[in-house]
Amino acid sequence: ETGVTQSPTHLIKTRGQQVTLRCSSQSGHNTVSWYQQALGQGPQFIFQYYREEENGRGNFPPRFSGLQFPNYSSELNVNALELDDSALYLCASSPGGTESYNEQFFGPGTRLTVL
């Protein structure tokens, strides 16, 4: 069984640029969530996708957007990058829809550095 994978591993961008991060969910999982983990902090929920539709969003501005594809993989897009966007971006997948009791399985993350 393949776990959650993310690409790229590391990324360096400059302020104002746009970035796309990718995530492949674990086999059989139809729900994908994205989190931002700043250095020394716990992960912060960005949004969740279930069956290609956004299902819940955290306190992030609209320049953070996402997609989920029919194969349940997902993208996180960030426009107009700011220095504070530098963080580890984590993707997590879970089975069985959006039931609150399902644990989420995390990928290794993408380290984004904004200069």
Partner 1 sequence: AQSVAQPEDQVNVAEGNPLTVKCTYSVSGNPYLFWYVQYPNRGLQFLLKYITGDNLVKGSYGFEAEFNKSQTSFHLKKPSALVSDSALYFCAVRDGHNQGGKLIFGQGTELSVKP
Of 103, 112, 114, 115, the one binding partner 1 (CB under 8 A) is 103
Tell me, residue by residue from 83 to 102, as one string, x for binding to partner 1 by CB under 8 A and - for no binding.
Answer: -------x-x-x---xxxx-
Task: Confirm or reject binding of residue 106 to partner 1 (CB under 8 A).
Answer: yes
Residues in 23-52 that interact with partner 1 by CB under 8 A = 31, 33, 35, 40-45, 48, 50
Within 8 A by CB and 6+ apart from 106, the residues are 4, 90, 91, 92
Indicate the Cα dihedral angle 47, 49, 53, 54, nearest 10°: -10
Other beta carbons less than 10 A from residue 70's beta carbon: 7
Per the CB < 8 A criterion, the answer to whether 82 and 113 are in contact is: no
Per CB under 8 A, 108 contacts partner 1: yes
Nearest distance in Å: CB 16, partner 1:
28
CA distance 64 to 4: 21
Residues engaged in binding partner 1 (CB under 8 A): 4, 31, 33, 35, 40-45, 48, 50, 55-56, 58, 90, 92, 94, 98-101, 103-109
